[in-house]
Amino acid sequence: MTRAEALLKLLALGDLRLPELFDICGWPFDELKSELESLVASRQVSWINAAGFRFYRCRAIDARAVLQTHTQGTTCS
């Protein structure tokens, strides 16, 4: 599973902030931020500002479809 796929699965479960994604995944910060920017540019992920924080979210119409792809070996590392 690629990092992009792992991020999409995490975000399909619910909105997360960058510090939360960093804590969950443990990837180098620059690589995480770059992967998120790539997903935003490809319109697979969007973000919202809420209570002064940026939350990232999966843009899939059916988040369950994201969760069902590549179900085995789901890790962030």
* Domain CATH number, residue 57: 1.10.10.10
Per-residue pLDDT, 26 = 94
Query: Would you tell me how many other CB atoms lie within 10 Å of the CB of residue 60?
Result: 16
Number of structural domains found in the chain: 1
**Domain contains 44:** yes
pTM across the whole model: 0.76
Per-residue pLDDT, 77 = 37
The rounded Cα 22 to chain-centroid distance in angstroms is 10
**Domain contains 74:** no
Is there a contact between 31 and 67 (Cβ–Cβ < 8 Å)?
no
Residue that is written with structure tokens 């910060």 in the block: 29
Query: Would you tell me how many other CB atoms lie within 10 Å of the CB of residue 39?
Result: 20
**Domain contains 76:** no
Q: Which domain holds residue 45?
A: 3-68
Is there a contact between 13 and 24 (Cβ–Cβ < 8 Å)?
no
**Domain contains 13:** yes
**Domain contains 38:** yes
* pLDDT tens digit at each of 77 positions of the chain: 999 999 999 999 999 999 999 999 999 999 999 999 999 999 999 999 988 999 999 986 555 666 666 555 544 43
